[in-house]
Each structure stands twice: as C-alpha cells, then as structure tokens.
Structure 1
Amino acid sequence: MSSETSSKPVFRDLRADDPDPETTEISSLCFNCGEDGVTKLLLTKIPFYKEIILMSFECEHCGLKNNEVQSGDKIQEKGTLIECLISNALDLNRQVIKSDYATVKIPEIDFEIPPQSKRGEITTVEGILSRCIAGLEQDQPVRKALDPDSAQKIEAFIEVLIETKSLKKQFTIMIDDPSGNSFVENLKAPLVDPALTTTHYERNKEQDHLVGIYEDELKQIKEEDETEQDNEKDENTDLLTDEVLHFGTNCPSCNVPCQTNMKVTNIPYFKEVIIMATNCDACGHRTNEVKSGSGISEKGVKITLRITDPIDISRDVLKSETCSMSIPELDFEVGAGTLGGKFTTLEGLLGAMKDQLTGHNPLVCGDSATTSVKERMKEFNQKLDDIIAGKTFGIHIILDDPAGNSYLQNVYAPESDPEMEIVYYERNFEHNEELGLNDMKLENYEED
C-alpha cells in the first residue's frame, strides 16, 4: 500500500462529484441460486452523525439484488445509560439516536425493546412508541384467528402504549447502549437538563461480546507476554521518565492508521502521570489523554478557582477521566468521562470542551439541531469565548474528582493560592461504585 493511499480517511464524505469513491468488490455466494455474485462496499459518513457501510449485492446468474446499510461506528471506551423523564409534549418530541446495540426500556409499563431487533435509527421518543404500536397492530388479524388469547393480551398492551404515548401520566425512557453511541436530545443544551441523566459505565464480558469485543480470549497470550516482560520493565522503569514510547493505533476521527506517543512524567507538587498524544497526518485530528501513574487516591478532591486575572486562564490543569467540571455562573456542568483525561491549560480545557459540545453530539449541531438549540449554543459559545479570551472575571471553575487524580496549578506555590480552594473529601458509596471500588477486595486479598 502506498503512503498516499494509506493517508486517506477510511470513511470519506459522500459526494456526487467524487471521482474515486473507492468502492470495494468482493465475490459472494448468492443464497438464491448458489452461484457467485458480487458485493460492493462503500465506506462513508453522514455529516454530524456517524460512519456507515453501504453494501450492494448483485447476482448475474439469477438477477437477485440486495442493498443494505450497516453502522461503521467505533465502539466507545464505555457504555452509556441514558434516563429521561417524559412529562410533556416537548419531551415526547425529543430526538433520539439509537444504535444497533441499544436496549430501550420504559420501567413504568414493563416495556423493553431488545438490541438488534431493528437497525440503528434517528427518531423521537414519540416515534419509538408509534413504531412499536404499529408493529404490534400489524399482525393482530392473524393472531386473532390463530391465538385469540394472545391477541387479546397484546391488544390490552397496545392500549397501554397508546395511553403512555398520550401522556396519561409521566414515564421514564431508558436507553442502555454498551457501544456508547446513543443520544437523547438535551432540551436545555448547552445547560444541564434536569430531566435527562447520562451515565457512563464499564462493560461486562457479555456486553463486550455483544459489541464484538473478545478481549478475554487474548488474556492468556497477554499474561504470557507480560510475564516475559516483567523483568525488563523492572529494569527500565526509571528510564521511562526520559523516553517517549511510540505505538501504532487508528485515528479516532477518520480511522486511518497513525502513531500515538506516550511518556511518563512528574507534575511538580502533585504526582506521576502518563501522557498519550495522537496526531493524524491524514485529517489533522489531534488528541491527548492523561492517566494517573499512581492509581486512585485515598480521598476525592474538589478544586474551585475564581477567575480574577487573564493569566488564570493560562494555569496548567490535569483533568482525569473521572473528573467532572462545572461553571456555576453559566449553569454549566459536564460529567466525568466527557473529555477523558487531559493535561493542558484552562484555556485549552475550555476550548476542548467547546469543541466537544459543538461537534460530538449530533443533536446539538448540524442538521439535527433545532433553531432554538442553535441559538442557545451560539449564545453559550460567546460566553465561553469571552472566558477563554480573558474578558470575563469573577466566575468560578470547579473540578470535582472522586479519584483524587486531578490538579490545577498553584501560581503561588509553595505558598497557598488566595483564589483557589482545594477540599479533600471521603468518597460515598456512589463514588466508590462509579470507580469500581465496591467490588474490589483491598485488604487480605492474598487469601483469595
């Protein structure tokens, strides 16, 4: 493969004037006549939505044709559980992106749509209910003839769905997506929506298999490799702080093979961290991620900084992947895991947060966003730009990290900073549950 070919994005924008869309042809068995047909594949992406794979099969022997669209989404590092309280007509009209792997539940009526019963779709809460009602009604005439009892029970449940759709009483819709690629519209965007809760979680083995990840099967091989490398690691640990390591990966934006650089470093007055940075030559996408090199701290930490000078925006900041951030004056809050781990400045962190808000969720940007959402985003972005430019003072930026692995530079170190408050606190059960500590045995684990 030439360097020119390898530098092109795997999923390219679909354009009518593209002279070389790079379709792939594969000889495939025709299930109709048993002869060989041809399947054509085209990898492209829908603007502000996701990557897709277009497939077209044709058999020249029997004339059978078939077209199909499959998701090309990358699997996110964590699964997503979305809960939304539906209490009025606006809530029913919330836009929903449901991936192939998502399970939809309405606990109040014991209703569930399993994953892969339908391909991923863009719809609304009302659209999900309407489609279910129509699907159940479609086969009712046959059921009434063959199994009247079952038809009567289904008819009763259809009435429950109709009442739910008409909002006889409020209900909760839950979308559990192990792939992390489902969304429900935030009607208050970019502010916090009190009716909408999004939680990110670690997948279990069954969920990994559902999304096509079988890491456990490689566990034995990895353990053997780690055993062989343990002695070398012990000898070279001190050298890592002076060395930049390189390993191959794929660009998170265009999937082109690229290189990630990793380095272990020490932050003064804090701790050791691991910094990883990726730069894609094909599309120009850049990412950096930071992970703690010393595990979870004994206590959580909450850091509050009052912006009083333009130089405050230049402070170094380490935001771990378990840290949430809020700006009370803007009624703005983002949960843990939104940006992953970041080692940058406050200016860089706020800029990355702005890019994430305007580019990651297709329901607050592009063709999927409503006019009111676009106006609110424009107004919010202007306020955020003023903070980044050092034009707004008196606001507070709060970092809350239950793992205790986040840091904000004290420009007066080693003296205390009059504009910054640092509070260490004991984690509660919910914090430990989110960090996975409730399932760990931290004492006398040798006995097991």
Structure 2
Amino acid sequence: MKCRENGISRILLTRIPMFKEVVIISFACQHCGWENNEIQSAGRIQDEGIKIQLRIQNKKDISRQLVKTDAATVIIPELGFEIPAKSQQGEVTTIEGLLQRATEGLRQDQPVRKIMDPDVHDKIKVVITELEMCQSGGRLFTLELDDPSGNSFIENICAPKKDPQMTVMSYKRSAEQDILLGLRADDDTGRDQTEVAAGPITQDEVLSFPTNCPECGSPCETRMKLVDIPHFKQVVIMALTCDRCGCKSNEVKSGGGVSEFGQRVTLKMTSKEDLSRDVLKSETAVVLIPELDVEVYCCSMGGKFTTLEGLLHDIKQELKKTAPFSFGDSARKDFVLQMKQFLQKLDKVISGEHLVEVVIDDPAGNSYVQNPYAPDADPHMVLEQYERNYEQNEELGMNDMKTEGYRQGSEND
C-alpha cells in the first residue's frame, strides 16, 4: 500500500485466551519495510453494545493491551478528538499503538494541507502535538471506547480485582446501530421479529419463539415462563437449548419492574449447605466477595436463576472471560501468578472449604437469595434497602422517565 510492490498477507484464525475468536491479518513489505496488521471478529455480535471509559494516569496505562473492532468509536474528550467507526480497521494493539496510528494518519496529508488550507493545517498540528504528549505519558487524559458490537476490550491490569480507573457499561443498541452492524435491513421499521402475541402471560403458560444459538448460530428455540418466587415476586425465566452444539443458557427478567428502593443482600456463609441456596441475580445486580476483593459488574453476566454454587462458577468463568490478557503467551508473569492464586482461592470457596461473605447489590431491587428460615428472618443474611443515587437512576433510565402528565405534550400537539 506504500511502495506498490507485491507482498504477502498472512491470515490466522485464532482465539484470544478467554475472550473471543478473531481473524488476524498481518502484512510486511520486504521492499520498503512498511507493516500493517488488522483484526476482524470471527465470533458473533454480542446481545448488547459496550462502552469502556479509562482514565490514563501514568506511563504504565499507555502500555495496556487493547482489542478494537472496526465498529468501535474512540474518543478523547479532553482533546475533542474522535476516531469514528469504520474509519480504522480492527486491531489488537496497545493504547500507545492506537495513538501512534492515529497520529500517523493525521500527519500523512499535512504537507498538502499546509498549501491548500493553512488554518486546518495549524489546527491539526496542535492535535498531533497533544496526541504525541499522550503517547509519551506527559499528559493525563480519558480514553472512551464505544463498540455497538460488544467485542472490544481494554486490559484490566488489576484483574481479578476491579480496576478503579476503568468504567465498563453495556447498553441496548439503537436501530441505526443494528443497521450499521448488518443486523437489520435499511428499511426495517425496528419491530422485533421475535415479538410474541400480545396479552397477559399466565403462570401455567410456556411461550416460545425462534432465535439463533449464541455459540454456533444455528436456529433454535427460546422458551419463556412466568414464575412466582415465594416471599419475593414474579420473574420471567428464558431458557435456550441448542440441539446442534449442546449450548444451554438461561436468563432471568424481572416481572414487576424497578422497585422503589435499591436492595443489598449480604450472606455470611456458615456451612457448605449454603452453596445450595437458590439465587436470583437480576441483570442490574453487582456481585461482590469482599474477602477476595472481587466485584463483578452488573453488565457482565446478565440475569440468572441458579444456586450460590452455580453463581460462583459463573463468576469464575466470567473473570476468565473479562481478563483475557491475564492468560496465554501475551500475559505478564506477575498477572498469571496473581490470577492463578486467586482462582485457587475461588475454587476453595466453590467446594465449601473456605467460607466467605457474598454481597448482591441490586439498584433495581430485583435480586433474591433463598431464606431457608422463611417466613422468619435469616440470622446469617442481612437485607438492606437504600435510596438510589443519580448515577444508578441514570443507568436504569429513571431520570428521564415521566410518570405524571406524560400525555399533555401529545394532546397539545
């Protein structure tokens, strides 16, 4: 692409450990020395998009590894700088490499701009200087990675602990984003093709609708049922089984909406029998194990109806999935040792050898842990209700919700 001589592109289908399948394409020119590499996702598009915000505070943060798909948008708010989706190919690189590639792209046409449009040339020169300072670690900044496909990733150097500098949020894609990813036709009205018949759902009724397997993509069927949990509330359980690859999954949705208050459930394990307690974790809940310094984001595992043992198993798998650079050849030795020691501790908790305190914090108040003493209080479990803060209401979409006088605007129109 630089000297126009012939070269060879090498293509490799591989899997980033505990992450996703990808196609890596690499090219190196033996004539001029120009190199290029890109990455394309070989896995499925995730059910939700993902937005990652990382505060860069030192030189060590610049060397974090990063997976960026071609559908992702990169923003540096402090500079007013944005790399739009589709403007760059997907790649596996570091934050420093991402900034370097952006700088080279801006510098490429500067000689022409200097002659044709000196004002634009001078403005871009300032941006290039700022980006070079960010690369060298001489400037603090915030990196935002917004990927509707949900397949981008930034290394967590504190894994398996929560990274205090990084915020990860998932969100529902808009119709425009679905069209961009090829999930909808351009003339799609936005109506869900899996929409079930309107009308109330009874507890004895099992509804089903066609869908695709999340693992192999084969057509299969999702079943949905309304369940009444004693001493709690109604929930909707959605289960999928693929006859082709054997994939099984279940997801839980609240049947009663968002509660007036958030709820924090703290269970102090006192025996191995606590592992068999039923647990309902909603898609808005955060799971914490303070003794192991573990926090699993609400967007990581979705809603689940399982046992405490099953929830801990899922946490183990999710931590492996969300910390792909803590394994494999690219992982640093101290990270590998740290993760190995942590997984050994977690295995002891799962087997009942080590008893810990488990906290499920749900701002929507839709999570539940079985109380074997019901209707009496459980002496080993604490239920706390609390007022949600502004950020929690924002994530739940409560701040912009209008519950009174919402018809006035349409009537005036």
TM-score (norm 2): 0.85
Q: Is the 8 A contact 2:39 2:69 kept in 1?
A: no
Measure how far apart 1:54 and its partner are.
Answer: 10
Report what 2:255 is aligned to. Answer: 293
Q: Does 1:384 align with 2:354?
A: no
Q: Is the 8 A contact 2:175 2:190 kept in 1?
A: no
What is the aligned counterpart of 1:406 among 349, 367, 375?
367
Report what 1:137 is aligned to. Answer: 107
Rate the CA distance shift 1:316–1:110 in 2: closer, same or farther, 3 A. Answer: same
Q: Secondary structure at the match of 1:80?
A: strand
Measure how far apart 1:146 and its partner are.
Answer: 4.1
Report what 1:186 is aligned to. Answer: 156
Q: Does 1:127 align with 2:97?
A: yes
CA distance in 2 between counterparts of 1:168 and 1:316 reads 51
What is the aligned counterpart of 1:217 among 188, 202, 208?
188
CA distance in 1 between counterparts of 2:315 and 2:388 reads 26
Q: Is the 8 A contact 2:287 2:297 kept in 1?
A: yes
* Deviations 1:169-199 (CA, angstroms, capped at 9, x unpaired): 3221111222222111000101011111112
Question: Residue type matched to 2:172 in 1?
Answer: E
Report what 1:248 is aligned to. Answer: 210
- Aligned positions of 1:23-422 closer than 5 A: 46-48=15-17, 49-51=19-21, 70-214=40-184, 217-219=188-190, 229-230=197-198, 233-234=199-200, 237-238=201-202, 241-359=203-321, 361-393=323-355, 395-422=356-383
Q: Secondary structure at the match of 2:399?
A: helix
Q: Secondary structure at the match of 2:71?
A: coil
Question: Residue type matched to 1:217 in 2?
Answer: D
Measure how far apart 1:398 and its partner are.
Answer: 0.6
- Identify the range of structure 1 (143-152 vs 436-445) with the bigger mean alpha-carbon deviation: 143-152
In the alignment, structure 2 segments of 5+ residues that lack a partner are 1-10, 26-37
Rate the CA distance shift 1:404–1:442 in 2: closer, same or farther, 3 A. Answer: same
CA distance in 2 between counterparts of 1:72 and 1:88 reads 33
Rate the CA distance shift 1:359–1:219 in 2: closer, same or farther, 3 A. Answer: closer
What is the aligned counterpart of 2:397 among 419, 436, 446?
436
CA distance in 1 between counterparts of 2:331 and 2:247 reads 24
Q: Is the 8 A contact 2:79 2:127 kept in 1?
A: no
TM-score (norm 1): 0.78
Q: Is the 8 A contact 1:98 1:122 kept in 2?
A: yes
Measure how far apart 1:122 and its partner are.
Answer: 0.9
Q: Is the 8 A contact 2:210 2:222 kept in 1?
A: yes
Rate the CA distance shift 1:185–1:219 in 2: closer, same or farther, 3 A. Answer: closer
CA distance in 1 between counterparts of 2:376 and 2:39 reads 60
Measure how far apart 1:350 and its partner are.
Answer: 0.7
Q: Is the 8 A contact 1:299 1:424 kept in 2?
A: yes
- Would you say how many aligned residue pairs link Structure 1 and Structure 2? 385
Q: Secondary structure at the match of 2:44?
A: coil
Measure how far apart 1:149 and its partner are.
Answer: 4.3
Q: Is the 8 A contact 2:39 2:92 kept in 1?
A: no
Question: Which has more radius of gyration?
Answer: 1
* Deviations 1:376-406 (CA, angstroms, capped at 9, x unpaired): 221111111111111112x211111111110
Question: Residue type matched to 1:118 in 2?
Answer: Q
- Identify the range of structure 1 (157-166 vs 188-197) with the bigger mean alpha-carbon deviation: 157-166
Report what 2:406 is aligned to. Answer: 445
CA distance in 1 between counterparts of 2:329 and 2:319 reads 15
Q: Is the 8 A contact 2:57 2:140 kept in 1?
A: yes
Q: Is the 8 A contact 1:43 1:51 kept in 2?
A: no
CA distance in 1 between counterparts of 2:124 and 2:302 reads 45
Measure how far apart 1:135 and its partner are.
Answer: 1.9
Q: Is the 8 A contact 1:357 1:364 kept in 2?
A: no
* Deviations 1:54-87 (CA, angstroms, capped at 9, x unpaired): 99xxxxxxxxxxxx98544433333222111212
Q: Secondary structure at the match of 1:337?
A: helix
Q: Does 1:423 align with 2:384?
A: yes
Q: Secondary structure at the match of 1:176?
A: strand
Question: Residue type matched to 1:166 in 2?
Answer: S
Q: Is the 8 A contact 1:362 1:368 kept in 2?
A: no
- Identify the range of structure 1 (161-170 vs 242-251) with the bigger mean alpha-carbon deviation: 242-251
- Identify the range of structure 1 (303-312 vs 280-289) with the bigger mean alpha-carbon deviation: 280-289
Rate the CA distance shift 1:442–1:73 in 2: closer, same or farther, 3 A. Answer: farther
CA distance in 2 between counterparts of 1:219 and 1:102 reads 22
Q: Is the 8 A contact 1:304 1:399 kept in 2?
A: yes
CA distance in 2 between counterparts of 1:345 and 1:312 reads 9
Report what 1:24 is aligned to. Answer: none
In the alignment, structure 1 segments of 5+ residues that lack a partner are 1-41, 56-67
Measure how far apart 1:308 and its partner are.
Answer: 1.2
Measure how far apart 1:219 and its partner are.
Answer: 5.0
Measure how far apart 1:356 and its partner are.
Answer: 1.6
Question: Residue type matched to 2:137 in 1?
Answer: L
